[in-house]
């Protein structure tokens, strides 16, 4: 135990085991599968013509806003958590802090971008 503790304390923050990340990578993966199939069905198989009018009308409803935001949150979590795992695999120096921080910022920026795109639609 002591053998590994030093390493984790230095880069990971004590008590962070990776258990939650592992579980939620699976949960978000399963959720993405459902959301993505829903997305495909709505966009390509319902026969509704896709142009700005219909899409903005749809996005005016709170339900669709919620659907798209959930989609974005799970996709960003799943993708960036995957990058974190690659970083943990290959980066064993202090650069790990840099790269993880970098992708935290990337994630937050994309989330803000998605929110200011989806939320303001008003019919």
Partner 1 sequence: MALHVGDKVVFKIFRYDPEKDKAPYYKDYEVEIRREGMMVLTGLNQIKWEQDPSLTYRRSCREGVCGSDGMNINGVNTVSCMSHIEDYNSNVLVIKPLPGFPIIKDLVCDFEDFFNKYYVVKPYLIEKNPPPGRERLQSIEDRERLNGLYECILCGCCSSSCPSYWADPDYLGPSAMINAARFVFDTRDEGSDERLDAVNNIHGVWRCHTILNCISACPKELNPTKAIGMLQKEILKRTY
Cα Rg of the chain, angstroms: 19
97 contributes a contact to partner 1 by CB under 8 A: no
Paired tokens of 103: 């992708």
Q: Mark the segment that binds partner 1 (CB under 8 A) among 16-24, 32-40, 69-77, 98-106.
A: 16-24
CB 72 within 8 A of CB 114: yes
Q: Which of residues 28-87 bind partner 1 (CB under 8 A)?
A: 85
Cβ atoms < 10 Å from Cβ of 84? 19
90 contributes a contact to partner 1 by CB under 8 A: yes
Contact positions vs partner 1 (CB under 8 A)? 1, 3-4, 7-8, 12, 16-19, 21-23, 85, 88-90, 92
């Amino acid at each position: 135990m002591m053998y590994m503790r030093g390493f984790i304390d230095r880069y990971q923050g004590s008590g962070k085991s990776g258990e939650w990340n592992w579980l939620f990578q699976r949960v978000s993966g399963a959720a993405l599968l459902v959301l993505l199939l829903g997305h495909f069905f709505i966009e390509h198989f319902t026969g509704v013509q896709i142009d700005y009018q219909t899409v903005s009308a749809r996005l005016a409803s709170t339900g669709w806003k919620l659907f798209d935001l959930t989609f974005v949150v799970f996709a960003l979590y799943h993708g960036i958590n995957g990058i974190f795992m690659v970083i943990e695999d290959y980066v064993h120096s202090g650069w790990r802090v840099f790269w993880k921080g970098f992708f935290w910022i990337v994630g937050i920026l994309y989330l803000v971008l998605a929110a200011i795109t989806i939320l303001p639609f008003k019919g």
